[in-house]
Amino acid sequence: MDRLALIGIFFFSGLLAIAGSMTMATLVARKGYQPRWGVLGGALTGVLGGILPALAVLYLAENGGLAVLTALVAGTGITALVGRLIPDRDPQRDALPSGAAFRRNILARHAHGRIAQALFALSIVLALLALATLLWRILNRAGRAHPGQLRSAGSRASRYRCGSDSGAAAGERTPRPPARAGLATYRRSQTQVLAHPVGAARARGLACG
Task: Write the DSSP string, 51-64.
Answer: HHHHHHHHHHH--H
pLDDT at residue 166, rounded to an integer: 46
> Where are the domains positioned within the chain?
3-87+97-130, 155-207
Return all residues near 168 (Cβ < 8 A) that are at least 6 apart. Answer: 159, 160, 162, 174
Task: Give the single-character DSSP code of 97.
Answer: -
The conformation of residue 98, written as its DSSP 8-state character, comes to -
* Confidence grade of residue 205 (pLDDT, cut at 50, 70, 90): low
Measured CA to CA, the distance from residue 151 to residue 155 in angstroms comes to 6
Instruction: For residue range 87-111, list pLDDT tens digits in order.
Output: 887 665 666 667 777 788 888 888 8
Q: What SS3 class is residue 8?
A: helix
The per-residue pLDDT for range 139-165, each reduced to its tens digit, is: 888 777 655 554 555 555 555 455 444
Q: What angle do CA 161, 167, 170 make, to 5 degrees?
A: 90
pLDDT tens-digit profile of 181-196? 556 666 666 666 555 5
